[in-house]
Structure 1
Amino acid sequence: MNNQLNTISPIDGSVYVSRDYATDQQVQQVLLKAQQAQKHWKKIPVMQRAAICHAMVDAFIAKKDQIAEELCWMMGRPIRYAAGEVDGLEERARYMIDIADQALATVKLEDKPGFSRYIKRESLGVVFVIAPWNYPYLTSINAIIPAIMAGNSVVLKHSAQTPLCAERLDDAFAEAGLPAGVFQHLHLDHPTTESVIQAEQVNHVCFTGSVSGGAMVERAAAGRFIGLGLELGGKDPAYIRADANLQHAVETTIDGAFFNSGQSCCGIERIYVDAAIHDQFVEKAVALIKQYKLGRSDDPTTTLGPLVKAEAAEFVRVQTAEAIAQGALAHINAEDFVMDQPKTAYLAPQILTNVNHKMRIMTEESFGPVVGIQKVDSDDQAIELINDSEFGLTASVFTQDIEAGIAIGEQLETGTFFINRCDYLDPELAWVGVKNSGKGCTLSTLGYEQLTRGKSFHLKTSL
């Protein structure tokens, strides 16, 4: 077993970060420290926790430029967009901090003669957060801030592709004065990650990643009766009705499909367009895609960076070639994007039409810069196709008839439904998935319910 983590930058294939994996002894020390620290932290008033967490956000955003450059090199996001994740973390973190007092408030029930009754929300203990590389700060902060604000301690295991993200969060919490042990990070290999899930000190696991990864978490936690929050894959659809604002629909869905090189769990991966406007939509979408510039992420003019790994790009190439062999039509000439090279992480964007659900490109998560566009004849057909998926994270409808859009949304098997937008997390709304997109909830006041347990008090006050 290799005892060292090496992060290979998709920009040039160089080793950008090297770290030793934690030993079993170090893991045990961290877990015991987290367990002990939590016993004190849960007694700290919520307002004091909030002050420390706001100070953490202040310390974090002060290093925006450094963090953006590290993201660019670790996972390949173009430098012109990388700082946006810092802004997103600030929005989510501050919102979840500010609602904690409300979300954690004691539930007071109407008194009965001679009795007092209420429900307190108590912390769980140690929360183990396993975070992915594609939106490494946004996905992790969804769990970290509410967990800590709820009185838990947190141990973060970040992706081997983005290990510096764990370290930067650790630095910011330390600078903010968070008591030692309340937030810690570990660089872990897969077997050790499973052993941490099984450790008696861990009381809850928050995982964001693949369906197979979520299954691993469930297997590792089996029989422990602890809470699991699993945000898994997606094959998110958009439906463009005939009455949609066409230009808005094109710009929004194409950005939703190709931002971050398509590496987003809630990115648009399949588009259904009413037959009356299908050809116009495709024409405008192709014209927009041809304006993209595929290049090195550290080039400020790049609008489409490499995928995270050459293997990821090869997966999308094979999936796309298979669809074409089955009759799909490709609308983008890869030769127009000079950085597109076989066996590299650099992959030209692609739009496919004449697709159907017998093709993997319309049913299997791609996680890359390709989208299939399928013609439909009615709302009913669109609804049937949207629901014909093992996933259910988000779904979007583009229409100027809001009531009709809502009626469609009510029939879709999805965690979040959008009208006239996509690929966005509003921290005031619950972020959930159905089917193979996972279970549990983050963000909003509901997100706090996953990280606390109810404790009922039933007091007989008169004898």
Structure 2
Amino acid sequence: MQQQEHLFIGGEWVAPSGTATIEVVSPHSEQVIARIAAAGREDVDRAVAAARQAFDEGPWPRLDPAERAEVIRRLAALIKPRRKELAELITAEMGAPISFAKLSHVTLPMLMMGAFADIAVNLPWEEPRKGFYGQDILLRKEPIGVVAAIVPWNMPLFLTVGKLVPALLAGCSVILKPSPETPLDAYALADLLGEAGLPPGVVSVLPGDRDLGEYLVAHPGVDKVSFTGSTAAGRLVAASCGSNLKRVSLELGGKSAAVVLDDADPAAVAAGVEIAGLMNSGQACVAQTRILVPRSRYDEYLDALVAMVESLPVGDPTDPATKVGPLVARRQQERVRSYIEVGQKEGARLVTGGSDLPAGVESGWYVRPTVFADVDSSMRIAQEEIFGPVLTVLPYSDDAEAVRVADDTEYGLSGSVWTSDVERGLAIARRVRSGTFGVNQAYSMDPNAPFGGVKASGIGRELGREGIESYLDVKSISVAPAS
């Protein structure tokens, strides 16, 4: 069992202020696999003080952007030989199937680092503009300051990189709060920061509970909060930041739709939904779990989806053949099971799956991949984020109704359309109200493209040029014309 009695504060491993610990439990074996020190309020104060000094007086914000980019490239190079180790760590702490962990949890974040570095180098950090009154104006982009980055458990390293690296490239200092379920990958990353050349004080890592997060968000030494999590928690974060006039970015929940047009191939749709709806065992904010299919071909698409779901290997996440692993915690398993019961009570037809354990599984926080048919958009299973391997199949009559049903939710994070006519698909994509959308694919988290939602799915954008700019302020400098 892994033990960590210290906290990473200001670039150093130091003793915590208290004696509280966090137990990391395997979702597969239900056994404790690590015990680490939990941060307290005094540790937040120390981390903020170190971050403030690093930002206000240290070299990091004052380096040329190309120098900061070089540090990030070194960090990516350090991760490369440790990809297998990091993937196994993430599989152990949150149950992601190892094949998915190697690619999406570790390799993609590593590749994103290089892409972010390229964007930062090519960003127009200063831009001349002619003033209305004839004066010269210089627009200068400057780092916001100290950032609190709060990351959930479902894609821990991926989401950490999506916040930490753009903030660092902007010149900010960062206090990272990983989820108490998944702190191990954040600590592994912390070990590499100094080796990559990051100055002391620029990054701290503080695992802790919700109370610690609330204290960090409200801390007067923090200039911006970047939060990924539930919509309910995001509202509280936004309220705290609003009362203190603090910058905030929120990447929240989703209940995205995969719109299947009547000219789409059922087998291709099913293969796409395997990724779009059931990636990471359904524990993804972008998961497209509402499958909208035309009434004229409803049974045909439903049969293809059910066949796909019933073919998925479920079980030990360390097995490379596994497609669906356990959910992160017992509470999550109970939550998903409760929604399966709600769906049945609401009158939806349970076609496959259910709330009992998968065949051959005797322990662990598993839920059978489940498909509901005859779902009405007003049902809770079609409106509320379940965050597990549960698909709901809804009928529609024409393209206009498909758009209405896709938009019939408080969320607006992602979505997709499946068709043999790309132009028709693009017409649907343009009409559905969401921050991201895919045509004949699950929306890919592209490091060159901004990611985020509308409505209750969040505020602001991550990734792409816009992701770095979210950690920058723009200063206008006006120079009087020569007399």
* Bin of the TM-score, shorter chain as denominator length: over 0.9
Listed one character per residue, the Cα deviations across residues 274-318 of structure 1 (whole Å, up to 9, x for unaligned) are 122221111112112222111121233322101111221221112
* Structure-2 change in CA distance of 1:219 and 1:2 (3 Å): farther
CA contact (8 A) 1:157 1:186 kept: yes
Q: Does 1:44 pair with 2:63? A: yes
Q: Does 1:390 pair with 2:410? A: yes
* TM superposition shift of 1:319: 1.0
| Mapping for residues 51-450 of structure 1, pairs under 5 Å | 51-84=70-103, 85-110=105-130, 115-333=135-353, 337-339=358-360, 345-450=365-470
Task: Report the 3-state secondary structure (helix = DSSP H, G, I; strand = E; otherwise coil) of the residue aligned with 2:376.
Answer: coil
- The amino acid that maps onto 1:68 is A
Counterpart in the other structure of 1:32: 49
- The amino acid that maps onto 1:79 is I
* TM superposition shift of 1:266: 0.1
* TM superposition shift of 1:138: 1.2
Aligned length: 462
* TM superposition shift of 1:192: 2.3
* TM superposition shift of 1:454: 0.5
* Structure-2 change in CA distance of 1:112 and 1:393 (3 Å): closer
- The amino acid that maps onto 1:294 is V
Q: Structure 1 residues 256-265 or 290-299, which shifts more?
A: 290-299
Listed one character per residue, the Cα deviations across residues 336-384 of structure 1 (whole Å, up to 9, x for unaligned) are 931456x951111011101112321111001001100112111111111
Measure, in 1, the Cα distance between the counterparts of 2:436 and 2:134: 45
CA contact (8 A) 1:104 1:150 kept: no
Task: Report the 3-state secondary structure (helix = DSSP H, G, I; strand = E; otherwise coil) of the residue aligned with 1:133.
Answer: coil
Task: Report the 3-state secondary structure (helix = DSSP H, G, I; strand = E; otherwise coil) of the residue aligned with 2:352.
Answer: coil
CA contact (8 A) 1:340 1:347 kept: no
- The amino acid that maps onto 1:338 is A
Measure, in 1, the Cα distance between the counterparts of 2:242 and 2:215: 12
CA contact (8 A) 2:437 2:443 kept: no
The counterpart of 1:3, out of the listed 5, 8, 20, is: 20
Task: Report the 3-state secondary structure (helix = DSSP H, G, I; strand = E; otherwise coil) of the residue aligned with 2:201.
Answer: coil
Listed one character per residue, the Cα deviations across residues 5-64 of structure 1 (whole Å, up to 9, x for unaligned) are 112210111112212222333222211111111232111111111111110111122211
Measure, in 1, the Cα distance between the counterparts of 2:55 and 2:110: 24
Task: Report the 3-state secondary structure (helix = DSSP H, G, I; strand = E; otherwise coil) of the residue aligned with 2:308.
Answer: helix
Measure, in 2, the Cα distance between the counterparts of 1:188 and 1:73: 19
Measure, in 2, the Cα distance between the counterparts of 1:455 and 1:9: 48
* TM superposition shift of 1:110: 3.4
RMSD value, Cα: 1.9
Task: Report the 3-state secondary structure (helix = DSSP H, G, I; strand = E; otherwise coil) of the residue aligned with 2:347.
Answer: coil
* Structure-2 change in CA distance of 1:333 and 1:249 (3 Å): closer
CA contact (8 A) 1:60 1:168 kept: no
The counterpart of 1:15, out of the listed 29, 32, 35, is: 32
Measure, in 2, the Cα distance between the counterparts of 1:260 and 1:388: 25
Q: Give the unaligned 5+ runs of structure 2.
A: 1-17
Measure, in 2, the Cα distance between the counterparts of 1:114 and 1:189: 55
Counterpart in the other structure of 1:459: 479
Measure, in 2, the Cα distance between the counterparts of 1:137 and 1:185: 13
Measure, in 2, the Cα distance between the counterparts of 1:350 and 1:114: 66
Listed one character per residue, the Cα deviations across residues 395-434 of structure 1 (whole Å, up to 9, x for unaligned) are 2111122222222222211001211111421111111211
* TM superposition shift of 1:105: 2.1
Task: Report the 3-state secondary structure (helix = DSSP H, G, I; strand = E; otherwise coil) of the residue aligned with 2:174.
Answer: strand
Identity between Structure 1 and Structure 2 (%): 31
Task: Report the 3-state secondary structure (helix = DSSP H, G, I; strand = E; otherwise coil) of the residue aligned with 1:268.
Answer: coil
Listed one character per residue, the Cα deviations across residues 60-92 of structure 1 (whole Å, up to 9, x for unaligned) are 222111111111110001123211121110222
* Structure-2 change in CA distance of 1:336 and 1:28 (3 Å): closer
* TM superposition shift of 1:228: 0.4
Measure, in 1, the Cα distance between the counterparts of 2:106 and 2:256: 25
* TM superposition shift of 1:269: 1.1
